[in-house]
Amino acid sequence: MKSAPLHPHEVDRLAALKRLQILDSPPEKDFDDITLIAAQICDTPIALVSLIDQSRQWFKSKKGLTAEQTPREFAFCAHAILGSEPLIISDATKDDRFADNPLVTGDPKVTFYAGAPLLSPDGYPIGTLCVIDRKPRTLSATQTSALQALSTQVSRLLQLRVQLDQQKEHAKQLEFKKTAIENLSEGVVLQGTDFRIVEFNAAALEVLGLTADQMTGKSSMDPAWRTIRADGSPFPGQEHPAVLALLTGKAQRQVTMGVHRPNSELRWIEINSTPIFGPDRSKPLWAVTSFRDITETRNAKLTLEKTETNHRQVLNAIPSMIAHWSRDLTNLGTNNACDAYFGKPPSQIRGRSLSDLLGEETFKRNLPYIEKVLRGEPQVFERTLPTKHGAGLPVMVNYSPEIQNGAVTGFIAIVTDISEIKKLEYERQMMAAKLVESAKMSTLGEMAGGVAHEINTPLAVIITKTSMLLEDLQNGTAKLADVTLQLEKIGITAERIAKIVKGMRQFSRNSTTDPKEPISISAVTDSTLNLCHEKLMQAQIKVIREIDENLSVSARFTEISQVLMNLISNATDAIEPLSEKWIKISARKQGTKVIVTVTDSGHGIAHNIWDKIMNPFFTTKELGRGTGLGLSISKGIVESHDGKIYYDEKSANTRFVVELPIEGAQ
Amino acid sequence: MKTFSGRKVLVVDDDEMLREVLSDMFKGQGAEVQKAENGVDAFALVQKEHFDVVFSDVRMPGGDGITLAKQIAEHEGHKPLVFFCSGFNDVTREAALRYNVLKIYEKPFERKKVIEEIASHLSQVPLGRR
């Protein structure tokens, strides 16, 4: 047996066969009709449309045969495709090419074979139309030419089949494009060289607010469009993208245009226009223009831009420095005050690291706060910022975490200049100190006002005695013993004056910075009472003194005296109109405390002002009397001595209690 | 003869030392002197005895000078001449004058002037009415 050699252009021939896309396709009536006709004309039991693949022959149509395919090496048709004329084998059993071919020796017992080649549209023999009989025979000339004609028809069928597929594909693509254009949300129009619209889709009508009749034939030059540019200036028809595309042959991209609908509603559209050239490629014949309605996005964008501008202006109007930092501590934005502090434009701040901008030293000091804010805890602290000139800037720093979807993504730092506040605070402290001082002097004036006059009595004694002594001496009536006695009395009286003056001086000096010293409660009480003596006496107030003599506290003498005088002064004012007038001062030890009480013959303080009496400027005295600061200052003093001062609401008489830690007790 | 010879003076002051000084002062002028430490005690003495002069402090615990002057002005018996000697400058002169206080001296006073002026007033009052 001799297998057929391969076709000289086997590779191209196989490629041509593949292009027909027929191998292993289902049977088709067109082909089966031809094999039926071929078998009838040639009077054979078998007729086939056989296609020669790389290693097989496959039957597109088979009359009188059941096999789908056979190996190529046994294929008669593989021989037939090598010539242009039909191959006719009258008796294969007597042909040494086929005598031992299994298709001859076994089923289907091929004896007679006549096959006409089939040509692909590009001329390659891809198979045959063949007729087969199981006995030796021949074909008449008529039968042969009919077989040839039929094989040509098969070739035509194959070609038509491909064309039909291509047409289907083309139709599908057309349908796709048509549907796609019709369903686009973008408007699409086609214009000719007269700039009139000849084709358009539904979206074009919708976007422009036109009916199909209004749209058809409308020109870009129609002034009714009332088109404007993004900046609001007129957009003349001769500069419309479609017109430019048609005139210049260049595609126009992303042109923004405002167009008025017939109802005068302004819509913003973004336009692309592409020219379509004629066969000579020299001049555009058409322009395809697509556009989408960007009114909403444009408005949203404008609103957003406006909002952003507003926010920025608000941020820039804030005198505090504001900076936005990402989690990895790079800058995301700043306000003007912050830019001014860094001395750089925002472009040189954004994207830079916090440590870089702040300097390593300040950064390290702030790091503990940064770590906390990045854990989501807001931070507030004070800091003195280094400045190029001067002694630094006192600031209040505020870190607020930026939280998105529950995670800290960065933080906002607000740094506020508090130098003015600091200055005011200092001034306020100074004022407060002065006020405390003047309140003290006011109490002194009230209580010890009699003191100056009290001095007048001993002065009268001294002056009168001196005058009488002098007279005795001048008259020579002086007796030594008497002079001595009178001088002694003058001395004692002068010391009385000295003691009063000393007490006043001690009380009135500014003592707030004195160190605390061990002081005797008894001594401070006496000193205070001395100053008040005249006033109490004039008011006919009896003083009861119940002091444990050995008590001492670590304190500033003058301040404790001030507290006592304030309590005595208040008591004096309160009980002066009463018929029963007494003030009792007691001091005793209780544990590690000294309890000093000042009780008067009054009957307590009205219930509704208990909680107010320690407040600054609260006073029950008439206008012009009392500063209203006495008790609040006393409270401050006692608390600075780690003690307590309070109104004893359980006492039947008006009683204030001062508790001080005993000297040496901690 | 001394200016205050035969005259009886009541010195009223709560300050013991000053009482003593005033007493010495009037005694030095020949007066007979009694002392009281407040207005109440003083008025008790005025009711019992005949005084030519009451020389009194104004503010005193247990009976002030104004009350004393008022009591003297209003009582039925002999009315001594009343002088005030005040340690304060806030004495209500109006009240003092209403009760016939002749003069208010402020401490520390001038001894000679006090003596002269009181003596001048006394010269218009005859001696010896008891």
Single-letter residue type at A26? P
CA distance A138 to A90: 6
A540: chain B residues, CB-CB within 8 Å: 61-62
**Cβ–Cβ gap B87/A462 under 8 Å:** no
Which residue in B15, B87, B111 is closest to A464 by CB distance? B111
B89: chain A residues, CB-CB within 8 Å: 453
**Cβ–Cβ gap B18/A457 under 8 Å:** yes
Residue with token string 């167009």: A259
Helix or strand (DSSP H, E) at A127: strand A125-133
Which residue in A459, A468, A537 is closest to B108 by CB distance? A459
* ipTM of this complex prediction, to 2 decimal places: 0.89
Q: What does the H/E/C string look like for A240-293?
A: CHHHHHHHHCCCEEEEEEEEECCCCCEEEEEEEEEEEECCCCCCEEEEEEEEEE
Which portions of chain A are predicted below pLDDT 70? 446-453, 509-511, 611, 615-618, 620-629, 664-666
Touching check for A466 and chain B: CB below 8 Å? Answer: no
User: No. of H helices and E strands in chain A?
Assistant: 17, 23
Q: Are A3 and A78 in contact (CB under 8 A)?
A: yes
- Per the DSSP assignment, residues forming a β-bridge with A583 are A543, A600
Which residue in A454, A460, A540 is closest to B108 by CB distance? A460
Q: Are A602 and A653 in contact (CB under 8 A)?
A: yes
**Cβ–Cβ gap B88/A493 under 8 Å:** no
The pLDDT score that the predictor gives to residue A373 is 95
In angstroms, the separation between the Cα of residue B94 and the nearest Cα of chain A is 20
Touching check for A462 and chain B: CB below 8 Å? Answer: yes
The pLDDT score that the predictor gives to residue A433 is 76
One digit per residue, the tens of pLDDT, for chain B of length 130 reads 578 888 999 999 988 889 999 999 999 999 999 999 999 999 999 999 999 999 999 888 778 899 999 999 999 888 899 998 887 666 567 888 889 899 999 888 899 999 999 999 988 887 765 4
Q: Are A53 and A82 in contact (CB under 8 A)?
A: no
CA distance A616 to A598: 21
- Chain A CA closest to residue B90: A453
The pLDDT score that the predictor gives to residue A666 is 47
**Cβ–Cβ gap A540/B106 under 8 Å:** no
| Chain B residues within 8 Å of chain A (Cβ atoms) | 13-15, 17-18, 21-22, 24-25, 28, 59, 61-62, 85, 87-89, 106-109, 111-112
Top residue of A464, A465, A467 to mutate, by most chain B CBs within 10 Å, is: A464
**Cβ–Cβ gap A456/B87 under 8 Å:** yes
**Cβ–Cβ gap B87/A493 under 8 Å:** no
The pLDDT score that the predictor gives to residue A577 is 86
A464: chain B residues, CB-CB within 8 Å: 21-22, 25, 108-109, 111
**Cβ–Cβ gap B108/A456 under 8 Å:** yes
The pLDDT score that the predictor gives to residue A463 is 93
A538: chain B residues, CB-CB within 8 Å: 59, 61
